[in-house]
Structure 1
């Protein structure tokens, strides 16, 4: 048993968590046959079956159920070991994995990361556009840019700036439907908002606007799609002011609408503070995001 392979334990956990070889292979960026071989080799070493294979996926056996918590504890210790090691990495070369919302990843970060590559060509960048909060402890990402303060333990989070928001429409929409001047005017317009996500409705109710889901005649939970619909003239939407300033034909409407600003938090695991590579990227992004806020 002394030749137990950590990769096989990690594979076992991925299959246990996803319930599928296909999903686990996707999450680990492996091929399904390679992942299946890892599971088979682990089962051979342990002398027990870990999963029941069926049409509905991979179901843990009694042995698998008994071992999954122990395997997770091993994974947590390995993750912490790797974080400690990364924190003492003195190189300015290597990979930095950054996660941010789709809006930030698509509209804000590309120009910043282009400048970063010019300044630090030896740093390899992995960008993960994702609105879900990444697990920085498990190294799903090294650095996260978020619009809410992370609540995970062992994280360092710095509030970089506040980005103002506004309500906007394309000139083609205004020419067709007119320009709303008050909050009440919005009731007679095509407003673009969230579908299942209720953050915008909650914020509007806090501002004294008794909005329901039907207030939005066009609904999507993808903020990039929503902004593109605004630019296409489909309706009135909400966006960061600097995005609107850079978009041809976009006009601000109801400028007195009291929309709260959007905080920007830069986050990493505290064990990475001593990594020169991570520190360099965090410092670079801090200056870039502050510069962005300064020009709004």
Structure 2
């Protein structure tokens, strides 16, 4: 009875819709633009202007001009780093989906204390610095770290394994950092699925796996696509974790751009690297969205 009294009545919902619609009609287009103008100015001066200057320096420099892009596309080192960046980003996206979907499903199904505990386990890492989490992986994976020491004490290995400064270490560390960005959109999509659909399917003879494959998974694809896009795009720009956990053997584009800008002070070439990474990212994201739009469940994404 107490829980039902807290639920909004239809009359309250009608009043809320009336207030929202009337307030939306009261704001003129000019006033709406004035309200968002401070945010747009902040975005323009803190993001668009610096990025535009960096990209322009790689194109409109009279000394070198387009030769930077020719150098980038002709030397195998830079193409290999670009390929490694997208390869690691794609693997991190898949690993985040495989590990995050069950957690999101558990968050949507559990209630009470257990739901709070699972949600806290997902949200608390977001409050921890990426630098701290990267150093924690170094403690775990180094030659005298926790994992190597445990393996040697158990007798599974005769000596320390090369766990740190590998692509596997980078993938594990990045997946752990980006996992909440996959879990939360999927959880939001799962929460919108009516429970009556699953019960009706079971009453018609469908099993648990059939309900998941035919109802739960298709209806949760908008959240999956949103989480996949966020984890993939964020992984392409990772700087701290690959630099600390991967080292020079697993150089990625963000680290390479940082070296060109801060160590070699070659800002135009750093702009060329950024432009190529941005163009390739936009192309892949567009293809990804087009492919997902073929599915009716995510046609509105």
Instruction: Give TM-score, length-normalised by structure 2.
Output: 0.24
**Structure with more strand by fraction:** 1
